Chain A
Amino acid sequence: MTKKVFNPDVDAPVFKGKYAPYDIIKEGTIAVVVVALLTVVLAVLFSSPDEKAVTIKSWSNATPMDFVATAITELDGTSGTATYGPPYNNAATGQQIGPFTLAKWMGINVKVNTASDFVVAPLSTLADQPALKTALTAFTSASSTQKASWEANYSKALTTGRFSSGTLQVPATNAGPVPVMMSALTAMARSGALDQALVTAKGFYTTDYTKPLLFMADGSFLANKAQAQHLSGDQWGMMNETGSYPGQAWLWLYTMWYQVPPFSTSWGANADALVWAFMMILTLLLALMPWIPGLRSIPRKVKVYRLIWREHYKSV
C-alpha cells in the first residue's frame, strides 16, 4: 500500500502540543449574555424602521392621475405586469441566459391577467351601479380591435385630462365604455375598495398580496417614494431599508453587480438572470473551496493564519 502524501491544504498536522482547561459551556453562557446586552443597547439606541405600507387608496389620493395612467395600461395590456411574461403571463419570454429561458420553462404559476384581474373583475364587484354595469357589458362583449381603439383614444385624451374637485376630467373622445370604467375604478381606488377587491378575489381570508403589489409597482408612486428614501436599484436598492439602517448589508456582493458593467450596460436586459447565475457560480466555488486546488492554497500562502494563531507561533 502506498502511503498518502501529506497535502498541507487538505490534511491537518497532528497536534502534539499542550492542552489547556477550557470551559465551553461557561463561554457559551457568557456569549449569550453579552450578545443579549448588546442587542438591548442597539435596540434602545437605534430602534427599527417601520414606514407604513402604501395602499392603492393612498396612491390614488396622493397622485390620482398617476393611478389612472397606470390603470389604463393595465386595461390595454401595456403595463410592466401585463408585458412581464412568466411566472405571471405569457406576454414575453422572460429573461434568459443564452438559450436558457429558465423562467419560461418553469411556467406560469402565478397567473395574472391585468385587464380582468386589476380592472374588470374589481369593477364587477360594485353593486347597484347600472351605468357601470352597462359599460362593463359593452366592454367585455366588444371585439379586441374595438377595445384597442377605445383604449388608445382614451390614453390620448388622458394626457390632457386632470383630476379636480373629486372627479376625473378627461376630454370627450370615442372611447366607448372606457371613461365610465376608469372613473369608477378611480373612485373605487380612492375609497380603499380596490385594495380590498384585489386581495379578496378568491374569498374572505387572504395572505396573498401579489395583485395589489404588482399594480402599485406598475405606477410611479411606490418607486418615487423609494427614490426619495435612497432605495432604488441604482442606489444599491433592496439591500437598504428606510432610514439610516444597515439593512441587508450582506447582500452587497449581489447588489454590486447591478451597478457595474456589463451587467448595468450591455447585459442589462438579462441582468437579473446573469447576476443570479454569476452569484450561484461564486457560491458553488465557496462551498467547494476545500476541493479546489489553487483556491484552497490561498490561506496557506497569504499567511493571515499567522495573525490568527500568533500566540501559537510565538510558542513554537
Chain B
Amino acid sequence: MTTEIDRQWTTRLRKTVVEKLPPEKLLPDTQPAYVASWIYVFGVTTLAALAIVIATGCVLAMKGPLWWHLSSTGHFVNSLHLWSVEIFFFAMVIHLWGKYFMAAWRGGRQLTWVTGVVLFLTSIGAGFTGYVSQTNYDSQWISTQAKDGINATGGGAFFNVLNLGQMLMWHIVLLPLAAVALTAVHVIYVRIKGVVPPFEEEK
C-alpha cells in the first residue's frame, strides 16, 4: 500500500535519483580494468578545459568587453581564454572520434552520444559568438563574412551576427548556460550507465 508520503513528488524524485544514481555510481572508487586507456584522458581534459574557459571568461566579464584592448593584464587574460578554448576543442574532437571508434553508444548509451553531439554544436556556437564579440578587426571581418551563411538559412532574421549586444549575450549567458547544463547531463549519463565495455571478440 502506498502512503501519502510515497506519492509526494519530492519523495518520488528522491527515490528515482537514489535508485538510478546511488552515491557509489556517482562517485565510484573502482572502474573496470579496460578503463586503463589513454582515450579516457580526453573526456576529463575537455571537462577541465571547459572549467578554465569559464573561469577566464568570468574574469573578462568582470571588467567588461573593452578591458582587454586597453590593459596588458586584460590582454593576458584574453590569451588564457583563447588558449583554453583551443585546448578544449582539441580534446573534445579527439574525445568525439575516440567515442565513435569505441561505438560508445552501445548498451543504452545513445543519449550520452546525442548530448555529446549537441555539446559539440553548442561549443561551436559559443566559439563563434566569442569571435564576433571581440570588438576588434577579427570580429568585424568574421561577422560580415558569416552573415551570408546565416542569412541564407533564414536564421539571420532572428540571429543578427552584426548586433554586438545580441552576440555578446549569447556568448556570455545563453550558450555557456546551455553548455554547462548539457555537460552535467552528459557526465551524469556516463555515471548512471557506467563506462561502455569493449567489443567481445570471437575466439
Residues of the B chain whose Cβ atoms lie less than 8 Å from the Cβ of A163:
none
Tell me whether B37 and A308 are in contact (CB under 8 A): yes
Complex: chain A residue closest to B44, CB-CB: A31
Complex: chain A residue closest to B149, CB-CB: A272
Cα–Cα distance between A10 and B104 once the two chains are bound (Å): 9
Stretch in contact with the other chain, from A64-72, A134-142, A170-178, A281-289? A281-289
The B interface is mostly helix, strand or loop, or mixed, namely: helix
Determine if B68 is an interface residue (Cβ-Cβ < 8 Å).
yes
Number of B residues near A (Cβ < 8 Å) is 91
Determine if A34 is an interface residue (Cβ-Cβ < 8 Å).
yes
Query: With A42-B86, A94-B151, A103-B152 in contact, is A305–B29 under 8 Å at CB?
Result: no
Taking the closest CB of chain B, its distance from the CB of A206, in whole angstroms, is 8
Query: With A213-B162, A248-B131 in contact, is A48–B197 under 8 Å at CB?
Result: no
Number of A residues near B (Cβ < 8 Å) is 101
Tell me whether B52 and A49 are in contact (CB under 8 A): no
Tell me whether B33 and A315 are in contact (CB under 8 A): yes
Residues of the B chain whose Cβ atoms lie less than 8 Å from the Cβ of A31:
41, 44-45, 47-48
Taking the closest CB of chain B, its distance from the CB of A205, in whole angstroms, is 9
Could you say which of B75, B84, B127, B164 contacts A39, with CB atoms under 8 Å apart? B84
Determine if A130 is an interface residue (Cβ-Cβ < 8 Å).
no
Stretch in contact with the other chain, from A144-152, A154-162, A187-195, A294-302? A294-302
Residues of the A chain whose Cβ atoms lie less than 8 Å from the Cβ of B140:
53-54, 213, 216, 222
Cβ proximity bits B44-63 to A, threshold 8 Å, 1 near / 0 not: 11011101100010000000
Residues of the B chain whose Cβ atoms lie less than 8 Å from the Cβ of A11:
106-107
Cβ proximity bits A66-93 to B, threshold 8 Å, 1 near / 0 not: 0000000000000000001011000000
Could you say which of B34, B45, B127, B201 contacts A17, with CB atoms under 8 Å apart? B34
Could you say which of B79, B108, B143, B158 contacts A213, with CB atoms under 8 Å apart? B143
Tell me whether B79 and A47 are in contact (CB under 8 A): yes
Residues of the A chain whose Cβ atoms lie less than 8 Å from the Cβ of B37:
308-312
Tell me whether B33 and A48 are in contact (CB under 8 A): no
Determine if A50 is an interface residue (Cβ-Cβ < 8 Å).
yes
Cα–Cα distance between A239 and B74 once the two chains are bound (Å): 24
Residues of the B chain whose Cβ atoms lie less than 8 Å from the Cβ of A107:
157
Stretch in contact with the other chain, from B7-15, B94-102, B178-186? B94-102
Tell me whether B152 and A9 are in contact (CB under 8 A): no
Tell me whether A50 and B157 are in contact (CB under 8 A): no
Tell me whether B30 and A51 are in contact (CB under 8 A): no
Cβ proximity bits B111-134 to A, threshold 8 Å, 1 near / 0 not: 001100110010010011001001
Complex: chain B residue closest to A105, CB-CB: B154
Query: With A35-B52, A39-B80, A42-B83 in contact, is A50–B75 under 8 Å at CB?
Result: yes
Could you say which of A28, A40, A213 contacts B47, with CB atoms under 8 Å apart? A28
Determine if B20 is an interface residue (Cβ-Cβ < 8 Å).
no
Taking the closest CB of chain A, its distance from the CB of B134, in whole angstroms, is 8
Determine if B153 is an interface residue (Cβ-Cβ < 8 Å).
yes
Cα–Cα distance between A310 and B102 once the two chains are bound (Å): 12
Cα–Cα distance between A297 and B106 once the two chains are bound (Å): 11
Tell me whether A53 and B157 are in contact (CB under 8 A): no
Determine if A43 is an interface residue (Cβ-Cβ < 8 Å).
yes
Query: Which of A95, A233, A308 is packed against the most chain B CB atoms within 10 Å?
Result: A308
Cα–Cα distance between A270 and B49 once the two chains are bound (Å): 38
Taking the closest CB of chain A, its distance from the CB of B162, in whole angstroms, is 4
Complex: chain B residue closest to A309, CB-CB: B198
Determine if A250 is an interface residue (Cβ-Cβ < 8 Å).
yes
Taking the closest CB of chain B, its distance from the CB of A138, in whole angstroms, is 32
Tell me whether B48 and A302 are in contact (CB under 8 A): no
Residues of the B chain whose Cβ atoms lie less than 8 Å from the Cβ of A313:
198, 201
Tell me whether B157 and A110 are in contact (CB under 8 A): yes
Tell me whether B131 and A250 are in contact (CB under 8 A): no
Tell me whether A242 and B138 are in contact (CB under 8 A): yes
Tell me whether A238 and B141 are in contact (CB under 8 A): yes
Additional pairs, 20, CB under 8 Å, beyond known A32-B48, A103-B152: A20-B36, A22-B30, A25-B27, A48-B75, A48-B83, A102-B154, A106-B155, A207-B166, A207-B168, A210-B163, A214-B162, A242-B137, A250-B89, A250-B93, A289-B105, A289-B113, A290-B109, A291-B110, A299-B100, A300-B199
Question: Could you jot down 16 A-B contacts, CB within 8 Å?
Answer: A11-B107, A14-B197, A24-B31, A36-B52, A50-B69, A50-B75, A50-B136, A54-B137, A102-B152, A106-B158, A110-B162, A207-B164, A207-B165, A208-B160, A237-B145, A270-B152
B residues touching A (Cβ–Cβ < 8 Å)? Answer: 27-37, 39, 41, 44-45, 47-49, 51-52, 56, 68-69, 75-76, 78-80, 82-84, 86-87, 89, 93, 98, 100-103, 105-110, 113-114, 117-118, 121, 124, 127-128, 131, 134-146, 148-149, 151-158, 160, 162-166, 168, 196-201
